[in-house]
Amino acid sequence: MGIYEPIHHQIGMWGENFKTNGDPNTSASVIVEVDNKLENESETASHEMLAPSNKYDQEASKPIDKIQRRLAQNREAARKSRLRKKAYVQQLENSRLKLIQLEQELDRARQQGLYIGGGLESSHLGFSGGVNPGIAAFEMEYGNWMEEQNRQICELRTALTAHISDVELRILVESGMSHYFELFRMKSTAAKADVFYVMSGMWKTSAERFFSWIGGFRPSELLKVLVTQLDPLTEQQFLEVCNLKQSCQQAEDALSQGMEKLQENVSVTVAGQLGDGSYIPQVATAMEKLEALVSFVNQADHLRQETLQQMSRILTTRQAARGLLALGEYFQRLRALSTLWATRPREPA
């Protein structure tokens, strides 16, 4: 648990900064949770053993019953943990056997002269061509999300030009905010299917990936972009945006430090004792540690969501609408940059 202590400290500071805005309905805490259930439950049981039990004989038996239930829960949790690890090991062993088979087929293909131009068709290697169904569903949902995003951008631009009432504009703003929150929900589901896919930003364009941080935009950097589009701001608004930016940077630093420690921990685990030809135990243990990576993605998206909510609170309805429009257009331009870069004319070698 030691690798996450800096996160708790920094996240606590971030939450306190948000609370100073005086809005009792605003929650801006970011909690990095990497649970160790067995340890927590054991600790709880230890505290319950010390509970007062000298008043009635009937009451005296209650802590013992609770302890027995806790111990039973601990045993069941440990049993499930062992089963998960056994499944990991079995999966890795199957992957190792498949890899050996593919290497043998590759050697045979080379001997038969099928290895041409440095590559082989997947059919020669026996690949199934299967796709992670969770990621396939996410990509389909994200395509629909993008279409709706483009429609909302056009609607916001038209509404701001037409000078509609703030009541009507507020409806568009809330719809735009909910649309981003839906993306965070989709990403959370996709991270459970393949967290590396979400972390790498493979669902984004190349220019978007260039600015990516833990699978999405970095809130503090985005605030820099938006503030220049929202002038004029009142002195109070400007101060609150500056405080928000500082709080975001603190939370980002805490998450980044936690990520670095997790990477270091997993790297050491995978390395283990190199040179003996065995890797199943090390990789199985590393996979267990990597379960924490899903939590980092979720916490980063939580920070992004809280930042959008705080900006909506600080700004007027019309400013919030302009901010959402600027945000949408910014990402559109990054996608356009990716396309132009990929299709740029190249000088002959």
pLDDT at 268: 86
Distance of alpha carbon 125 from alpha carbon 273, whole angstroms:
31
How much helix, strand and coil, in percent to the nearest 5, is found in the chain? 75, 0, 25
CA 283/CA 289 separation, integer angstroms: 10
The per-residue pLDDT for 98 is 65
Within the chain, which residues score under 50 in pLDDT?
A: 1-2, 6, 19-56, 113-130
Tell me which residue of 187, 152, 203, 205 sits closest to 294, measured CA to CA. 187
Parse the chain into domains and list their residue ranges. Answer: 67-116, 133-203+217-343
- pTM of the entire predicted model: 0.64
CA distance linking residue 158 with residue 214, whole number of Å: 33
Q: Judge whether 64 and 45 are in contact, CB under 8 Å.
A: no
Q: What pLDDT does 61 receive?
A: 59
Q: How far apart are CA 243 and CA 241, in angstroms?
A: 5
Residues 251 and 303: beta-carbon distance below 8 Å: yes
pLDDT single digits (tens) 173-227: 999 999 999 999 999 999 999 999 999 988 899 999 999 999 999 999 989 888 8
| Residues 197, 344 contacting (CB under 8 angstroms) | no
What pLDDT is stored for residue 9 in this prediction? 54
